[in-house]
Amino acid sequence: MVGLLDGDDVNFDLKPEEQDFEHEVEAFLRENASPEVMDPHPEQLSQTVDTLPKRAFMRKLAERGWLGMSWPKEYGGGELSGIYDFVLTEALSRHGAPQPGKGVGIVGKTIIRHGNAKLKEYFLPRIIRGEIEFAIGYSEPQSGSDAASMQLQAKKVEGGWKLDGHKIWTTSAHFADWYWVGARTDPDEKHGGITLFLVEMDHPGLSIHATWTIGDERTNEVFFDDVFVSDDFVVGEVNKGWRYICEALDLERFAMMPVGPLEEKVAALVDWARNKKRDDEPMRKDPETRRRVAQAVTQLEVARMLQRRVISEALQDRVPTVESSRYKLYMNELGQRVANWALDLMGAAGQLKPGDPDAPVGGRFERSYRYTVVDTIGGGTSEIQKNIIAQRGLGLPRNF
């Protein structure tokens, strides 16, 4: 049982049946290892389902019954503990494989709780069969950290709504099938004036433009021009969207922010230090190298423990808001430290990019140095995590 107090002991081990599941997933991932599906240098936010081979891989996960393991049986789920979703996500992330989090977690679980019969009938079977991909649209040019200030306008018309406006940072919009999007249905209310809609991504009123990040990943700007959405595709009740957005984040704790990519990076750094020579001297004898590697390994263990706190809280049906913020802040900033240390130790060659035959560790840390900046922004910036820890965890006053 992960992270639960057991008498006087804290026992972080998985139960035997959960360990069996972990071994089964590992064996499956080794059998299905493929450069078309798995990113050899994954980062925390990077595993999308953006190509046909990755979609085929997702359907294989579905055939094994691994999508929707914690959903109720009446919707095709397995009614298993969320720990199984966690074990699956961690294993996928370690191997750089695509992840089902958005469909199964954010969209699927919210539709199960609040969706009308039509949404349930259409979306839930397709999600659980691994046939459908979603993009999530909350952020706008003037609404990022304060997403509840979103202004994309939804006007009531006969039989539905007309959406007009502009979203930014919609990752996956260029390949997703459906858009899970928040819009303002009441201009006089802030949190109580937002409604969630599902929009077909190939709607003629949507235009999608690429935004490339410093970490070489594509995200998108999306413009809405008279986009009609039928009443059937309103999620839950009108003006309750903000509640569902927050709830979905809480439901998503198991599938968010795996530590696997960081574990793999620290292992690659240790391996490099163990085998590399400089001026005919093994790097492993260099005191600075030993100090940095020891720090990386030790701090990785701290990140794992913080993550287990999140899971332990969620398994007891508590909302791990402060625990999640502590873990995200620490893990993302550790990712940056590890990339910095690696580049310092590797010297000038560390700056060679992936694809250059002379790049140490295949250029992994050069890319990571850039990508880890992105990790500290997506899913809520480090400053916002610090605010949550200060206000909700420590009871300090708001900073503005």
Question: Is 374 an interacting residue with respect to ligand FAD (CB under 6 A)?
Answer: yes
DSSP calls for 85-151: HHHHHHHHHHTT----IIIIIIIIHHHHHH--HHHHHHHHHHHHTT---EEEE--BTTBSTTGGG--
Question: Is 223 an interacting residue with respect to ligand FAD (CB under 6 A)?
Answer: no
Smallest gap from residue 384 Cβ to ligand FAD (A)? 6
Please say whether the beta carbons of 193 and 184 come within 8 A: yes
In order of 217, 289, 345, the CA distances from 358 in angstroms are 23, 20, 15
Question: Is 145 an interacting residue with respect to ligand FAD (CB under 6 A)?
Answer: yes
Q: How far apart are CA 379 and CA 388, in angstroms?
A: 13
Euclidean distance between the first and the last CA atom of the chain, given in angstroms as a whole number: 41
Question: Is 178 an interacting residue with respect to ligand FAD (CB under 6 A)?
Answer: no
Please say whether the beta carbons of 97 and 35 come within 8 A: no
Smallest gap from residue 105 Cβ to ligand FAD (A)? 14
Relative to beta strand 134-137, strand 178-184 is: parallel
Question: Is 372 an interacting residue with respect to ligand FAD (CB under 6 A)?
Answer: no
Smallest gap from residue 353 Cβ to ligand FAD (A)? 19
Which backbone phi and psi does 176 adopt, to 5 degrees? -70, 160
Please say whether the beta carbons of 322 and 315 come within 8 A: no
Q: Which residue is nearest to ligand FAD (CB)?
A: 144
Q: Check residue 15 and report its DSSP letter.
A: P
Nearer to ligand FAD, 258 or 380 (CB): 380
Q: Which of 20, 121, 237, 383 binds ligand FAD (CB under 6 A)?
A: 383
Q: How far apart are CA 362 and CA 39, in angstroms?
A: 12
Residues 324 to 353 in contact with ligand FAD, rule: CB under 6 A: none
Q: Which of 47, 139, 332, 372 binds ligand FAD (CB under 6 A)?
A: 139
Smallest gap from residue 382 Cβ to ligand FAD (A)? 7
Question: Is 255 an interacting residue with respect to ligand FAD (CB under 6 A)?
Answer: no
Sign of CA dihedral 50, 52, 54, 55: positive
User: Which listed range, 117-125, 184-192, 277-285, 380-388, lies at the site for ligand FAD (CB under 6 A)?
Assistant: 380-388
Q: Check residue 393 and report its DSSP letter.
A: I
Question: Is 368 an interacting residue with respect to ligand FAD (CB under 6 A)?
Answer: no
Question: Is 381 an interacting residue with respect to ligand FAD (CB under 6 A)?
Answer: yes
Question: Is 271 an interacting residue with respect to ligand FAD (CB under 6 A)?
Answer: no
Size of the site for ligand FAD (CB under 6 A): 21
User: Which listed range, 165-173, 184-192, 229-237, 266-274, lies at the site for ligand FAD (CB under 6 A)?
Assistant: 165-173
Nearer to ligand FAD, 170 or 307 (CB): 170
Q: Which of 70, 99, 171, 368 binds ligand FAD (CB under 6 A)?
A: 171
Nearer to ligand FAD, 325 or 387 (CB): 387
Q: How far apart are CA 176 and CA 131, in angstroms?
A: 11
Residues engaged in binding ligand FAD (CB under 6 A): 136-139, 144-145, 169-171, 213, 219, 374, 377-378, 380-381, 383-384, 387, 399-400
